[in-house]
Amino acid sequence: MLLRKPWFRIFPVLPLCGMVCLAGCGKFFVPVNPTPPPSGTGNYFYVANASATASLAGFALTTKGMTNTASSPYALGVAPTTLAVTPNGKYIYAGTVGAIYGFSVGSNGDLSLLNGGSALITNISPSVLRVDPSGNWLIEADAAPQAMVFSINTSTGTLTQQGTQLDLSTGAPNHIAFTPGNGLVYIALGTGGVQICTFSPGSGTLAKTGVLLPKAQGGADNGLAVDPGGKYLFVAETAGNGLRVLSIAASGALTEISGSPFQTGLGPTAVLVDSTGGYVYVANRTDGTISAFALAASGALTTVSGSPFATGAQPVDLAEDPSHTYVGVACQGGGPDFQVFTIGSATSAAPGGLTSFAKTTGSNPSGTSAVVAAD
């Protein structure tokens, strides 16, 4: 297992009481800082606010907590419901009702709208967006249900549709996961299960190969992740409140491992496998918690000490920052709307555990729908 490189190896350790939390002041975002914050780690989180301000918020991590990026919030005028970021952190894409918008990420974490502020793609309403591991393709899935592939101009961030839409099996798309080798794509369809697709990173061709149905009758698959080694697919399923673990064969065939599903909190909605491949986190929307597990080579999961960890109301999305030290949580029900946890390192007293680091506070409107991280 790789050891993390936490910020306290670079900066002095400050007591938790010294960490600065954001004050909402009756709005979702704190007042804008005129310049980037000092002593930052160079890591940023971006949150989609799907109600009230119809904008994105940018947060920079510092040794004292987190603060807004220079020009945050970034208004769209229409509520973003899903976000995707390129692997190099250069571009962020926001899906709204009727369009896809793009942002470039500056060296100080500030965002700039692409295409003069106009939508990159119109007449489309993505339920979920995801950039492939190569950074050359963006896949969207919507309520039709259908999926589309767009090529990314890596110099400008603009999008071009590749081929025609792919009709999906019955269901409501909510998450997309790629295998690290970029040859397989999984699309969670809620009660429709998981659509299994092959993907060609050379041509951007997406093709259906089968469907993984919910394990329990009446279940909905509402979260997906693949480990960094491409060995396992993780599926959060609401019926029974469990996390399914399936081994991925070279052919793409899926086999559920012994002991699966593993118990989570109520309403598992999003899944994150950390970049070391050592831990798995599940956001439980109904009971406002994160279930944390240690991942064995066999795919078996063991509950991490202290799990589940309390979040704001209705956590719906998770993201790990580029330093592999923090987990950001978007909480649709507020209280807080956005929260950051520190991940316990492999050498800490509670490896894989989560410690609250910073969060938004105050009278904030609810509706945060997605979070991504970039450096």
pLDDT tens string 77-96: 899 999 999 999 999 999 99
Gap between the terminal Cα atoms of the chain: 23
Each residue of 303-324: b (16+ CB within 10 Å) or e?
ebeebbbebbbbbbbbbbbbbb
* Of residues 109, 66, 75, the one with CA closest to residue 90: 109
Which helix (H) or strand (E) is 346 found in, with range?
Answer: none
Closest CA to 195 of 181, 179, 176: 176
> Are 56 and 76 in contact, with CB atoms under 8 Å apart?
yes
The SS3 assignment for 375 reads coil
Residue 362: its pLDDT value, please?
53
DSSP H or E run through 46 = strand 40-49
What's the whole-model pTM score? 0.88
Say whether domain 43-374 belongs to CATH 2.70.70.10: no
Cβ atoms 373, 36 nearer than 8 A: no
Per-residue model confidence as pLDDT tens for the chain (375 residues): 333 444 333 333 333 333 333 333 333 333 333 333 333 456 899 999 887 678 999 999 887 888 889 899 899 989 999 999 999 999 999 999 999 999 999 999 999 999 999 999 999 999 999 999 999 999 999 999 999 999 999 999 999 999 889 999 899 999 999 999 999 999 999 999 999 999 999 999 999 999 999 998 889 999 999 999 999 999 999 999 999 999 999 888 899 999 999 999 999 999 999 999 999 999 999 999 999 999 999 999 999 999 999 999 999 999 999 888 999 999 999 989 999 999 998 888 789 999 999 988 654 555 799 999 998
**pLDDT number for residue 66:** 87
Instruction: Name the residue type at position 336.
Output: P
pLDDT of residue 342: 95
- Collapsing DSSP states into helix, strand and coil, what is residue 174? coil
- So where are the chain's domains? 43-374
Alpha carbon of 279 to those of 84, 225, 321, 333: distances in Å? 22, 12, 15, 26
d(CA 68, CA 51): 19
